[in-house]
Amino acid sequence: MTEMRVGVLFGGKSGEHEVSLASARTVIAALEEAGYATVPIGISPEGRWLTSDDPMARLTSGEIGGIGGNGNNSGAGYADTGGAATAFMPIEDRLPALDVIFPVLHGPFGEDGTVQGLLEMAGLPYVGDGVLASATGMDKITSKIIFGAAGLPQVAYRALTRREWQIKRAELLDKIEGAFAYPLFVKPANLGSSVGVSKVRDRGQLSAAIDLACTFDRRVLVEAGVEQAREIEVSVLGNDEPQASVPGEIVPGNEFYDYDAKYSDGRSQLLIPAQLTAAQVERVRCLAIRAFQALDCAGLARVDFLLAEDGTLYLNELNTMPGFTRHSMYPKLWEASGMPLPALVRRLVELALERHADRQRNRISRV
């Protein structure tokens, strides 16, 4: 049997570029251990796609520049793609023949439905969630609206736009303080890895946090805090019949599980399995699957919860392409559930091919 070729897509135009590189190294090693031929495909922070030489080394070394200040690369070895807007791939970096793509991309321009839409247009099978689930899963405000419609428990929240904040700052602060008690969390609607997220305890901090969040996105989420909450996470795997892993717990090294706590300081702890009652385990796994299905997810997702001191469980968010290093919660939860990493990536490839085959059954015209 011909060896299956899996293109592993990594890097990208987001603040989680380096996290993506770390995840991709683990995924490539696991795929090769599972018996697949891997084709590394890097995307620079400026959006240039790379397949020649060693894309991982080229991105890590920082030798790769952008695609040009005005995007015009004619005569510079770039493919004629019909205009500056699409001139992102040099001729030597055109994609080879591939059986499936594994997009190990985190954050905007990768986990938000943009790359998924490109792969759909190209007719390529790919691991993970489709355009709809990726876009709604990335957008914290839209996903909360959908989760609310599905009857899933969440903390109280308010959404605002950058334009609203510019023209009625004091009024918004008054309304937020009138509706919520401190502490509060402020988040950009469309970022991951806790980039731009702040925990605030007074009006001054709230104002500064919204200013910060507005530098990352035009839409901002303000959430009620849950004091002394435990952070519980569940990994979900599957298509139409998803399964949930054993739950795990994050004990942050910082006041909350921010970017530094996730990737830099090394003081956070992962407790697997989480110390929960049998009833709590059953409920959190059930809610994780319901959240997965509410967004019409496919392949994989990590679903995060807050467990209050009184036992109340709140759905926090759903991550459609969680971290994939050997220290990341998603693969570690499946390992604790009896599925080691090589078996996990093999199952993800199988699910990608299964979903692609199912999509081919759809009619796209009346004829």
**How sure is the predictor about 61, in pLDDT bands with cuts at 50, 70 and 90?**
confident
What is the model's pTM?
0.87
* Residues 266 and 253 sit within 8 Å (Cβ to Cβ): yes
90-124 confidence digits (pLDDT tens): 555 567 789 999 999 998 899 999 999 999 999 99
124-149 confidence digits (pLDDT tens): 999 999 999 999 999 999 999 999 99
pLDDT at 232: 98
Nearest to 5 by CA among 26, 24, 31, 30: 31
Residue intervals in the chain for CATH 3.40.50.20: 5-128
Active site residue ranges: 16, 193, 263, 302, 304, 317, 319, 323
21-47 confidence digits (pLDDT tens): 999 999 999 999 999 999 999 999 988
* Phi, psi angles (nearest 5°) of residue 121: -65, -35
Distance between CA atoms of residues 106 and 113, nearest Å:
11
Residue intervals in the chain for CATH 3.30.470.20: 138-152+228-358
User: 313 is written with which tokens?
Assistant: 């469980």
**How sure is the predictor about 334, in pLDDT bands with cuts at 50, 70 and 90?**
very high
Using CA atoms, how far residue 164 sits from 160, 167, 168, 189, 346, in Å, is: 7, 5, 6, 15, 47
* Cβ neighbours for 9, distance < 8 A, ≥ 6 positions apart: 41, 43, 101, 102, 103, 104, 105, 110, 115
Distance between CA atoms of residues 24 and 29, nearest Å:
8
Nearest to 299 by CA among 361, 241, 352, 353: 352
pLDDT at 267: 67
CATH of domain 5-128: 3.40.50.20
Nearest to 233 by CA among 173, 182, 300: 300
Which pairing describes strands 219-224 and 5-11: parallel, antiparallel, or unpaired? Answer: unpaired
Percent of the chain beyond pLDDT 90?
A: 73
Q: Tell me if residue 85 falls in helix, strand or coil.
A: helix
Percent of the chain beyond pLDDT 70?
A: 86
User: 352 is written with which tokens?
Assistant: 């990608």
89 has pLDDT over 90: no
Residue intervals in the chain for CATH 3.30.1490.20: 157-224
Average pLDDT, the chain: 88
Give the 3-state secondary structure percentages of the chain, helix then strand then coil, rounded to 5: 35, 20, 40
Q: What is the CATH T-level fold of the domain 138-152+228-358, as seen in this structure? A: D-amino Acid Aminotransferase; Chain A, domain 1 (3.30.470)
pLDDT at 64: 67
76 has pLDDT over 70: no
User: 261 is written with which tokens?
Assistant: 């706590």
* Residues 352 and 127 sit within 8 Å (Cβ to Cβ): yes
Which residue matches tokens 């990493």? 341
* Cβ neighbours for 123, distance < 8 A, ≥ 6 positions apart: none
**How sure is the predictor about 356, in pLDDT bands with cuts at 50, 70 and 90?**
very high
**Which ranges in the chain belong to alpha helices (H)?**
17-33, 55-61, 114-122, 131-138, 140-149, 162-167, 169-179, 203-216, 259-263, 278-294, 329-336, 341-359
**How sure is the predictor about 254, in pLDDT bands with cuts at 50, 70 and 90?**
low
CATH of domain 157-224: 3.30.1490.20
Q: Check residue 202 and report its DSSP letter.
A: S
Using CA atoms, how far residue 96 sits from 20, 91, 114, 146, 282, in Å, is: 22, 11, 21, 38, 45
What b/e string do you get for 69-96 counting C-beta neighbours within 10 Å, with b at 16 or more?
A: eeeebeeeebeeeeeeeebbbbeebeee
Q: Kind and range of the H or E element at 153? A: none
